[in-house]
A = this chain, B = another copy of it.
């Protein structure tokens, strides 16, 4: 049995399939060649059934030989210290990778998630659109000048940033050709494609189990 276990839901509706955040940890393990298992908690009553392990009722959480972490960003940074593929060990590259990983979580996703939430809630004249436009425009400028965000090569910062940006409503926001090329480049990677296919397959099998 593997030392690494990624915990996710046992089933989700069709809408979020391919977007559930266990994919971030699967993708990282696939990039780094780290063996892992996937285990599940029940989606039904998710608000209360795993609060002891995740106080916000979210998934994923990661178990690494008994050491447990929730927050996908924390799981990614934890895995990144196990593989130079995810984060360079030399200090300048490590710092740049850390910086862009946090930027994905706290400068980009902090805008895209509430914007998306208001949009699907049917909020007229989404009041976060100006902020969204500014931040994604600044990121477009960065991505127009380089293939990957940090250290001159693909790192865990790209994995996370691309996962934030590939959400369909976010990806469709405005004309941002450098960002679109970046998302296409990241999601064409074999490690992403395997992680994505595995997540879809898991939830399809859960459909069959539910129907049966």
List residues of chain A with CB under 8 Å of any chain B CB. 51, 55-58, 64, 67-71, 73-74, 77-78, 91-92, 95-96, 98-99, 101-103, 105-107, 109-111, 113-114, 117-118, 121, 123, 127-128, 131, 135, 138-139, 141-142
In the docked arrangement, what's the CA distance between A138 and B50, Å?
Answer: 13
- Number of copies of this protein chain within its complex: 2
> Which secondary structure dominates chain A's binding surface?
helix
Q: Are A58 and B107 in contact (CB under 8 A)?
A: yes
Which residues of B lie under 8 Å from residue A113 when comparing CB positions? 110
List the 7 closest A-B pairs by CB distance, nearest first.
A114-B114, A74-B102, A71-B102, A73-B102, A74-B99, A105-B106, A69-B99
Residue pair A78, B95 in contact (C-beta under 8 Å): yes
Q: Given contacts A78-B98, A98-B74, A98-B78, is CB(A131)–CB(B117) below 8 Å?
A: yes
A109: chain B residues within 8 A (beta carbon): 106, 110
Asked if B101 and A74 sit within 8 Å, CB to CB, the answer is: yes
Residue from the set A98, A106, A109, A131 with the largest chain B CB neighbour count within 10 Å: A106
Smallest beta-carbon distance A182→chain B, Å: 14
Q: Give the shortest distance, in Å, between A151 (CB) and chain B (any CB).
A: 13
User: Which of B69, B118, B138 sits near A56, CB closer than 8 Å?
Assistant: B138
Query: Which of these, B67, B74, B106, B114, contacts A111 with CB under 8 Å?
Result: B114
Known contacts: A69-B98, A98-B74. The answer to whether A56 contacts B107 by CB under 8 A is yes
* Set of chain B residues within 8 Å of A131, measured between Cβ atoms: 114, 117
Residues of B with C-beta under 8 A to A138: 51, 55-57
* A57–B134 alpha-carbon span in the complex (Å): 11
Bound complex: CA A58 to CA B117 (Å): 25
